[in-house]
Amino acid sequence: MPRTYAEDFEDARGYGWSIEGASFFLARADRDKNREIARLSAGYTDGFARVGVTVIEGTAKLVDAHTLAIGQRA
């Protein structure tokens, strides 16, 4: 079973670390994750546009061994 950060923090005490008042805020982590995903997505989108790549947004489906469909496009 994977260890938790809380367990790692507790073990760190044995190596001279003192980590008092450590806390985790799920809402903040979720907000920051979404912000980073949006930043990265914008960077890729801008980079693709600069080199002439057409970005097609949608859900992809493999039609056969040689065909990918996105929405009504195949």
The span from the CA of 39 to the CA of 10, in Å, is 34
pLDDT of residue 31: 96
pLDDT in the model for residue 24: 84
In the chain, what are the domain boundaries?
21-70
Q: What are the backbone angles phi and psi of residue 4, rounded to the nearest 5°?
A: -100, 160
* pLDDT tens-digit series, residues 15-65: 998 888 878 899 999 999 999 999 999 999 999 999 999 888 899 999 999
pTM for the whole structure: 0.54
- Dihedral angle sign, alpha carbons of residues 7, 11, 13, 15: negative
Q: Which residue has the higher pLDDT, 22 or 14?
A: 14
pLDDT of residue 74: 64
Q: Which residues of 18-51 are buried (b: 16+ CB within 10 A; e: fewer)?
A: eeeeeeeeeeeeeeeeeeeeeeeeeeeeeeeeee
